[in-house]
Amino acid sequence: MSKNTSIILPVINETESLKKTIEILLNEIRKKIKEIIIIVDKITSKESLSIAESMISRYPEIIKLQWQKRKFLGGALQDAFEHCSGEYCVMMASDLETNPHDVKKLIETAEEGYDIVATSRWIQSNSFEGYSLIKLILNRIFQLFFRTLYRCNLTDLTYGFRIYRTQVFKEIKWEELRHPFLLESILKPIKLKRYKITEIPTTWKARIEGTSQNTFWRNFIYFRTGFKIIFLKNKNLIKPLRH
């Protein structure tokens, strides 16, 4: 399959890492990419916007800039997915924490016939670089707990690095505007049991520029999201059909 994938890059304060992400993607999988959507907010830095603009003027036929209407990371991703025109879309970051070299494998695996391919930092040992020990322990407990609750075999439910058949995004009703959208966007498809989902190993490396938009304490809100979705009726997870 060629030129069938849209890639979403949310940007707040990334500069060199945004540039490098795009360069790696275009070097390795240009033939597969239909579009790269850079999604930005009012708070996106001037430096980031100027890098985005210079990349767009170099690759005007592939890269697009989109201003988010909804707030926060979840809102940005939901806005961006509505603009995807590829058959598949990739959710990732532009801070190089999500390894752009793994996008090739994500696309190849999706093409084997999956609706969603997630990545996991818990398949191979030593996949985290620069992650604090306390976060590592809490993350592991969280993953084990929610994979048992949702009776699924995925090992990394909170990592926002996945490929989706774009249709999946258009069908489901999304609610979370902040980072827990990264959890909602896998739990709702799992709960619906109508999609073919798998995962591949990946690595995580702490960013070397800019800062995260998430705080340590906000990570606990993921529990609320995880519990809330298990009690929702499946018919309430799907968007009503438009006539």
Q: Which residues bind ligand GDP (CB under 6 A)?
A: 10-12, 14, 39-41, 68, 72-73, 76, 93-95, 97, 179, 212-214
User: Which of 33-41, 65-73, 87-95, 131-139 is the region at the interface with Mg ion (rule: CB under 5 A)?
Assistant: 87-95
Instruction: Verify binding: residue 97, Mg ion, rule CB under 5 A.
Output: yes
Minimum separation from the CB atom of position 186 to Mg ion (A): 17
Pick 66 or 212: Cβ nearer Mg ion: 212
Query: CB of 238: closest distance to Mg ion in angstroms?
Result: 30
Give the DSSP per-residue string, the chain.
Answer: --S-EEEEEEESS-SHHHHHHHHHHHHHHGGGEEEEEEEE-TTS-HHHHHHHHHHHHHSTTTEEEEE-SS-HHHHHHHHHHHT--SSEEEE--SSSSB-GGGHHHHHHHHTTT-SEEEEESSSSTT-EES--HHHHHHHHHHHHHHHHHTT---S-SS---EEEEHHHHHHBPP---STTHHHHHHHHHHHHT-S-EEEEE--EE--SSS--S--TGGGGHHHHHHHHHHHS-GGGGBPPPP-
213's contact among Mg ion, ligand GDP, none, with CB below 5 to 8 A by partner kind, is: ligand GDP
Q: Does 95 bind Mg ion (CB under 5 A)?
A: yes
Would you say 97 or 199 has its CB closer to ligand GDP?
A: 97
Partner from Mg ion, ligand GDP, none binding residue 158, C-beta < 5-8 Å depending on class: none
Q: Tell me which of ligand GDP, Mg ion, none is bound by residue 41, counting a contact when its beta carbon lies within the kind-specific cut-off of 5 to 8 angstroms.
A: ligand GDP
Site string for Mg ion, 208-227 (x = CB under 5 A): ----x---------------
Work out what residue 127 binds among ligand GDP, Mg ion, none; the CB cut-off runs from 5 to 8 Å by kind.
Answer: none
